[in-house]
Amino acid sequence: MDIKNLEKIANNLVSPGKGILAADESNGTMSKRLESVGIEPTEENRRKYRVNLFSSKNYEKAISGVILYDETIRQKMDDGVDIPTALKERGVYPGIKVDTGTKELEGSFGEKITEGLDGLSKRCKEYFEMGARFTKWRAVISIDEDNPSERCIKANAESLAKYARICQEEGLVPIIEPEVLMDGTHSAEKCMEVTSKVLDITFAECEKNGVYLPGALLKPNMIISGKNNNNQIDRNRVAEMTIQCLTENVPKEIPGIVFLSGGQSDQDATAHLDIMNKMNKEYPWELSYSYGRALQASALKEWAVGTPESSQNAFIKRAEMNHRARYGKWELELE
């Protein structure tokens, strides 16, 4: 394990003003998103849409890395250059989603376990050769009357830790993503309780498995009420509760926290990050972003009804807004 290089990459991914573009939607998910805006969901259209994003001017000002899907990392730009090479030429790290999706946790009430440990080391070797320098693995934890169970949290935490260790052994920085879903009617307090437990158990498993925390990143949810709860907390309270949760449960050795947007609106995702970075606190870790929809939703709509350039402009605008939020310098008037 080359710990110095892992540290260097992890810190570069959360450089001041920068965050990560999550463009790792599975073929099925990306096809659904194309269909939702009236575009035929073909492999070539998936490539064209993403290549258009990766061709945007100066996006590297706000984007340090791009998480790719297996199909995408093997594709080429319009000029024939491999996508990972094109990203590296812009000073952007190529990343790769390495989990293989979720299945129902046996004996549970609809809970999920993420798969992908089988053959992971071999896949990591291949992705490294293709240019990837960081990875992502997503676990999903749902909240309802029966869930989450201790067994579900523990099983997913064990998998996240094993994944992280394997990736580090192969020279790849792991992004550890234990997502507590927004779906449901639960309160923000319940979200905080569950997220705290998930983070605590996940890092305990990381310690057991010898994960080198200075060479890893955390991709958590923010503390938000379930989307079907009528009592939504305001943006300031989201930021305060999220910081409290992270301060109590995330080791200071982690160099950066790259939030997922998790179904938040574009502006909410940006505003929450901005408030956290405006708060008068000396955090032990960088607070950044690893957004998918919150960076891409407007760009996808423009790609369907506008021009390639207008789609790029929409993407660049969201990237710029989050770049500012990294410094706590976003304002609503900028929108």
Find out whether 264 and 224 touch, Cβ atoms under 8 Å.
yes
Q: What pLDDT, on a 0 to 100 scale, did the predictor assign at position 146?
A: 87
C-alpha distances in Å from residue 23, one per residue of 44, 49, 50, 59, 264: 15, 11, 8, 14, 17
How many other CB atoms sit within 10 Å of the CB of residue 168? 23
C-alpha distances in Å from residue 37, one per residue of 33, 276, 303: 7, 33, 9
| Residue ranges covered by each domain of the chain | 3-330
**Phi/psi-derived region of residue 166, left when phi > 0, alpha when psi is between -120 and 50, beta in every other case:** alpha
Find out whether 187 and 225 touch, Cβ atoms under 8 Å.
yes
Name which of 132, 146, 116, 330 is nearest 239 in CA terms.
330
Considering the segment(s) 3-330 as one domain, its CATH architecture is: Alpha-Beta Barrel (3.20)
- Report the alpha-carbon distance of residue 30 to residue 158 in Å, rounded: 29
Global pTM reads: 0.96
- Report the alpha-carbon distance of residue 226 to residue 186 in Å, rounded: 5
The strand pair at 112-114 and 102-104 is best described as antiparallel
User: Is the bond into 214 cis (omega within 30 degrees of 0)?
Assistant: no
Find out whether 160 and 205 touch, Cβ atoms under 8 Å.
yes
Q: Three-state SS string across 178-223, please?
A: EEECCCCCCCHHHHHHHHHHHHHHHHHHHHHCCCCHHHCEECCCCC
Active-site residue list: 219
**167 alpha carbon, distance to own chain's centre:** 17
Exposure string over 2-27, b if 16+ CB within 10 A, otherwise e: eeeebbebbbbbbeeebbbbbbbbee
The per-residue pLDDT for range 71-100, each reduced to its tens digit, is 999 999 999 999 999 999 999 999 999 999
The per-residue pLDDT for range 283-309, each reduced to its tens digit, is 999 999 999 999 999 999 999 998 999
**Phi/psi-derived region of residue 330, left when phi > 0, alpha when psi is between -120 and 50, beta in every other case:** beta
Name which of 59, 71, 60 is nearest 96 in CA terms.
71
Q: What pLDDT, on a 0 to 100 scale, did the predictor assign at position 65?
A: 98
Measure the N-to-C terminal CA separation of the chain; round to a whole number of Å: 44
pLDDT tens sequence for the chain (335 residues): 889 999 999 999 999 999 999 999 999 999 999 999 999 999 999 999 999 999 999 999 999 999 999 999 999 999 999 999 999 999 999 999 999 999 999 988 889 999 999 999 999 999 999 999 999 999 999 999 889 999 999 999 999 999 999 999 999 999 999 999 999 999 999 999 999 999 999 999 999 999 999 999 999 999 999 999 999 999 999 999 999 999 999 999 999 999 999 889 999 999 999 999 999 789 999 999 999 999 999 999 999 998 999 999 999 999 999 999 999 999 988 89
The strand pair at 134-141 and 217-218 is best described as unpaired
